[in-house]
Amino acid sequence: MNNYKRIFKYVKPYIKPLVTANVFTILVVIFSLLSVMMIFPFMDLLFNESPNQIPAKEVTSVFDLKDFIIVYFSKILLQYDKLDVLKYLCILIFLTFFLKNLFSYLQTYFMSVVEQGILKDIRKDLYDHYLELPLSFYTDERKGNLISRLINDVQIIKDSLIAVLNSLFRDPPTIITFSVVLFLFNWKLTLIIFLMAPVTAFILSKIGNSLKRSSQKSQEKISDITATLDETLGAVRVVKAFGMEEYEKQKFENENNSYFLLLVKIFRKRALASPISEIIGVFTIVIILFIFGTDIIKGQSDMTPGAFIFYLAVFFQMMPSLKLFGQMFNSYKEGTAASERVFKLIDTKSDIVNLPDAKILKDFETCIEFQDASFKYDKSEMILRNINLKINKGSIIAIVGPSGAGKSTLVDLIPRFYDTTSGKLLIDGSDIKTLQIESLRSKMGIVTQETILFNDTVKKNIAYGKAEIPDEKIIEAARAANAHVFIDKLDKGYETVIGDRGIKLSGGERQRLSIARALLKNPPILILDEATSSLDTESEILVQEAIERLMHGRTSIVIAHRLSTVRNADTIVVLNKGEIIETGNHDALIKNESMYKKLYNLQFRHQEESV
């Protein structure tokens, strides 16, 4: 129940329309009853069953409802012409039904804001939370699962909550009002009918529990399907290149099939609730018919046909409410399962957060310093060990080392994508954990190997993170990044949409766009992971020039794969198995039989030869 209670928090902002909607619900209930009540005098009028004079027995209490209606209706009949009464009755019946439907529409009208609003708010909270979660969270979770929570689970929560809210406000008042009427009409019979209720409730709760389990499984399945879809479509080029279409089709079909089987099971179970409650309802009606019928045949009934039909009509009107009230418990169970999954995510807390008294880093002034810093990922062994490194403002640091040495991990610590496991990382003498994260990251430009572009226009990609920026500034950045010429040749220039992850651009063009983005941000610190894949010479020169312009006047930390970068670096840091084993400039390091020399021969030598 706990998680489900938390959903009610989302109802709060919509109390007004919710209350308004439910005022209309109550009106609908009243008018449904009235519309049925009209039948009673109408039938008796037509079949001339009502006495031509007021019955001898005076009705003193409204609790004798049947006689109460008969007596008062007879009084009216005696005063007016029958045809006139018929006319007024017809108008009244039409009006009652008209108002009942109008109120029913108004109920939905106000309820739509509540429904869609709750859906929107839960999605927003979940999405906001996704962006707050640390990077480490994303390495453990499949992206598709997260998408599925946001789309499918939130929808189920909303459906369940609305079913519960609607039912709570509509069904109990309907059931209570109609039951009171039935009791007042014939309490003995009604008592027999109500003895059936616990049986129905028991059967429905069994179905509900089983539905909750299946719903949990089906959500896991749809989550898997979304994840598979996301991964396959994201890697469609590789799938095609390796001729893996059939394999991927088969994989998808397996998941799709088991989802299908589960859904069929759920729909069948869910569908059980309605016929079961209806059969029990009909069984009850049969009892009513039998008891009434026996009385009529034996001549012991004091009911007019109108009263008899009225009793049945009230019961029929109450049946959908009884059914929906029963189904509400199933919706509640399905909603509980979905809310457990969603709140589990919302309760995942980020450990990389601003301290309450976090300082704002106004400017980067002196240096970045690793002090005995070590780091390990959640379940890994130590990836970085006792790193001591000082990066002075304005210097260029090249980080080199074999694959898996920990280069990317090292630079990820600077913008606080991860926190050191032990030791410290200082900026201008302050531990970065004491600085406000946004102010820290605003001082950094990050250009990764994998150029991260969005499926948007060139302009928006360059100006990412800068809402109000004049076009001239964007063009200026593009020129400096050697990107203006190719952008100009595109279909719609700066307004061209570049496709998913910039798929419509070449590798070099993508790199230059992300360099333009970093240039526009103009941060004092640059973190650059040079691309390993080599471009053709012309493109390489353009990218190289752009990078040099980008590094100019900044403090640059570069995971270096280019000869020119290591040559120009003030300090080269050689990382091996998570430890710094050598530091110095190119000339100093190349002289010794160093690891750097080996790497240089392996990695950079051929670049020297090709120049």
Q: Which residues are paired to 556 by β-bridges?
A: 396, 526
Q: How far is the CB of 446 from ligand ATP (least distance, A)?
A: 14
- Can you tell me which of 270, 407, 433, 586 binds ligand ATP, judged by CB under 6 A? 407
> H helices of 299-349, where?
305-346
Each residue 136-155 as x (binds ligand ATP by CB under 6 A) or -, in order, gives: ---x----------------
Which CB, 270 or 561, lies closer to ligand ATP?
Answer: 561
CB of 349 to ligand ATP, least distance (A): 19
Helix crossing, 82-132 with 39-46: angle to 10°?
A: 150
The residue (of 328 and 558) whose beta carbon lies closer to ligand ATP is 558
Measured CA to CA, the distance from residue 72 to residue 70 in angstroms comes to 6
Burial class (CB in 10 A: 0-12, 13-18, 19+), 423: middle
CB-side neighbour CA atoms (13 Å) of 109? 9
* Residues ≥6 apart with Cβ < 8 Å to 269: 207, 210, 211, 214
Among 68, 377, 417, 454, binds ligand ATP (CB under 6 A): 377
Closer residue to ligand ATP in complex, CB, 73/375: 375
Residue 456 class from Cβ within 10 Å (0-12 exposed, 13-18 middle, 19+ buried)?
A: middle
Stretch that binds ligand ATP, among 62-70, 84-92, 375-383, 422-430 (CB under 6 A): 375-383
CA nearest to 433, candidates 359, 349, 348, 526: 359
Q: Give the residue, chosen from 275, 394, 404, 553, that forms a contact with ligand ATP under the rule CB under 6 A.
A: 404
Does 403 bind ligand ATP (CB under 6 A)? Our answer is: yes
Among 383, 387, 389, 589, binds ligand ATP (CB under 6 A): 383
Taking the complex as a whole, the smallest distance from the CB of residue 464 to ligand ATP amounts, in Å, to: 24
Residue from the set 222, 342, 405, 560 that interacts with ligand ATP by CB under 6 A: 405
Least Å distance, CB 405 to ligand ATP, is 4
- Closest to ligand ATP by CB, 278 vs 579, is 579
Q: Site for ligand ATP (CB under 6 A): how many residues?
A: 12
Say how far apart CA 383 and CA 412 lie, in whole Å. 12
**Residue 356 and residue 436: Cα distance in Å, rounded?**
9
Q: Which of these segments, 214-222, 367-375, 399-407, 512-520, binds ligand ATP (CB under 6 A)?
A: 399-407
Name residues whose C-beta falls within 8 Å of residue 589's C-beta, 6 or more positions apart in sequence: 572, 574, 582, 596, 597
Which secondary structure element, helix H or strand E, spans residue 379, and what is its range?
none
61 binds ligand ATP (CB under 6 A): no
Q: Which stretch binds ligand ATP (CB under 6 A): 6-14, 241-249, 355-363, 402-410?
A: 402-410
Q: Between 389 and 516, whose beta carbon lies closer to ligand ATP?
A: 389
Residue 324 and residue 319: Cα distance in Å, rounded? 9
User: Contact region for ligand ATP (CB under 6 A) — 16-24, 46-54, 106-114, 376-384?
Assistant: 376-384
With binding defined as CB under 6 A, does residue 408 bind ligand ATP? yes
From 190-198, 312-320, 338-346, 404-412, give the range in contact with ligand ATP by CB under 6 A.
Answer: 404-412
First to last CA, the chain: 70
Q: Which is nearer to ligand ATP, 385 or 459 (CB)?
A: 385
Whether 588 contacts 404, CB under 8 Å: no
Closest separation between CB of residue 571 and ligand ATP, Å? 17
Sheet holding 579-584, edge to edge: 444-447, 525-529, 555-559, 396-400, 571-576, 579-584
Binding-site member from 144, 406, 415, 445 for ligand ATP (CB under 6 A): 406
Binding site for ligand ATP (CB under 6 A): 139, 377, 380, 383, 401, 403-409
